[in-house]
Structure 1
């Protein structure tokens, strides 16, 4: 697919400088450089100002107040960009409202040490407003900090592990087992049959919101087999040919969405109620009307998600 890397979170060409992660002297020099910049996270949210991810200077109060180790996210030119995690901060104590538990978290937490910024914002809420580079940096940092939070202890012996490789690895000090940041492969399918595509609505989703079918891959399974299995399990529709289209890092918390096109060999839908609340075949014309806001009861996948990317390119006949 020629436009594959234009998907949100992809294609910025970030230099991740992986060869420097184990070089302590190089890391110290990059950290001490006046040109170093720091991106702040709080419980998975990223600090935003006017639709840009904020790059803080080394002497900014938020950076100097951070008690947790920073993680290098990559280099821009000769200078490094680090992520810092401020999740210890209590916004309630500073008079800020917390999320209300709704499907979308539109709350913003404003830190008193960063009055010039809009505040900590859910990446899902701002991802379509960010530049490709900002989006990639934010997604990378979000995934890394979430992984450190959920994988503090060695899976082999239970001992608390330590951050090594500048935060891109954990190492057990007892048994020596290394642990690496987790990425979970997920297939997401543009299932078509003639002029129609198969869309589903997940359990608990807002009324009318539909998207492409998706599911986690299983051990020992090919991408093609996962596509056929997931579609059959969720809807009873049998799929034949499967082609890869594009991928998207989905940092909620650590998925890699593998976008495919699948040709359906059957029409009848037998819904798995544990997976989907609804599923339906939608024509190109109906989907185009939904994208234009003229189809009541049918809300296409959210902007920025690979499902919306696949569907819009199908409508424009740009999949090849």
Structure 2
């Protein structure tokens, strides 16, 4: 098959969108941060365990943004500056007006299942495909920062409790003066195709029957992205591949991954699954995949994932049949 260019991906990489400048030059300006936090025009996203409040008005979805004076107490982080000089922050705190049962149980399966004109707690996997560019970018950043701050309260060098600095972009150790930055774990995710123009889809050992995706794995220390693609495919399904071609990337902050998408061509097609990694893997032609989706035999990753975009790009059109 002819491998598409990055700009030919079918549909946007939904978690790679953004419309707010992260404004790194302002993070260490304490006076500006104080003024921005006191400015009634500033907007605050409340984040709690990866969820925020989302409101539907007609066919439009938006994050419930508050003014600084309305925001609940909690550590806050600068997300950036948008149109008109409006500063955006995230506050890590329980979501206003959300009881515990609704926060944990609400699990919409379609946009229409989100009640209109009432804010509900949604995580990024659900909300990412519903939100516009500005709000999707804000939520991805807020989820990533919240997860990092929650798990990096102590200095890895001396064990002292660190302090938030740089508008939430760093943590400082008061004992040894070391500065710590958010960790990002690069992971390759690759669509494997063969000379018969088939795609290889696989199911994880803990996934239910019918749930399929493409292969993925973390980049190891001292390893290039291309070598990681070749190694991971060989380890997981025993297939040799060549000529990895990069198509695009998007953050996947669960808790801190960056997914780097590739197409790669198989030079062997016999599948030998590592049972610790893969329960089963199958080759599909386009017709076979279309039939399996129509019958419900196969379900694909959600629209918000880069895996879905790579599969649809290989297929040549949008597909249905989410997990």
TM-score, normalised to structure 2, is: 0.87
Give matches, 1:187-226, under 5 Å. Answer: 187-194=188-195, 195-226=197-228
Structure 2 SS opposite 1:228: helix
Map of 1:140 onto structure 2? 141
Structure 2 residue 317 is matched with structure 1 residue 310: no
Shift of 1:88: 8.8
Shift of 1:69: 2.0
Structure 1 SS opposite 2:140: helix
Relative to structure 1, is the Cα distance of residues 247 and 70 closer, same or farther in structure 2, using a 3 angstrom cutoff? same
For the Cα contact (< 8 Å) 1:41–1:120, is it kept in 2?
no
Structure 2 residue 273 is matched with structure 1 residue 267: no
Shift of 1:135: 1.0
Map of 1:300 onto structure 2? 300
In the alignment, the residues of structure 2 paired with residue 88 and residue 58 of structure 1 have an alpha-carbon distance, to the nearest angstrom, of: 14
**Structure 1, unpaired ranges of 5+:** 108-115
Of residues 76, 99, 102, the one that matches 2:82 is 76
Shift of 1:87: 3.9
Relative to structure 1, is the Cα distance of residues 99 and 276 closer, same or farther in structure 2, using a 3 angstrom cutoff? farther
1:15-37 CA distance string (max 9 Å, x none): 00110000011111111112100
- Segments of 4+ moved more than 3 angstroms: 87-91, 97-100
Shift of 1:133: 1.7
In the alignment, the residues of structure 2 paired with residue 295 and residue 246 of structure 1 have an alpha-carbon distance, to the nearest angstrom, of: 31
RMSD of the alignment, in Å?
Answer: 2.4
Worse overlay, 295-304 or 225-234: 295-304
Of residues 45, 50, 55, the one that matches 2:65 is 55
1:221-280 CA distance string (max 9 Å, x none): 000000011000000000111110010111211110000011111011111111111111
TM-score, normalised to structure 1, is: 0.87
Structure 2 SS opposite 1:281: strand
In the alignment, the residues of structure 2 paired with residue 82 and residue 54 of structure 1 have an alpha-carbon distance, to the nearest angstrom, of: 12
For the Cα contact (< 8 Å) 1:74–1:82, is it kept in 2?
yes
For the Cα contact (< 8 Å) 2:19–2:82, is it kept in 1?
no
In the alignment, the residues of structure 2 paired with residue 54 and residue 97 of structure 1 have an alpha-carbon distance, to the nearest angstrom, of: 16
Relative to structure 1, is the Cα distance of residues 3 and 16 closer, same or farther in structure 2, using a 3 angstrom cutoff? farther
**Structure 2, unpaired ranges of 5+:** 1-5, 109-116, 319-323
Map of 1:111 onto structure 2? none
Structure 1 SS opposite 2:261: strand
Shift of 1:6: 2.1
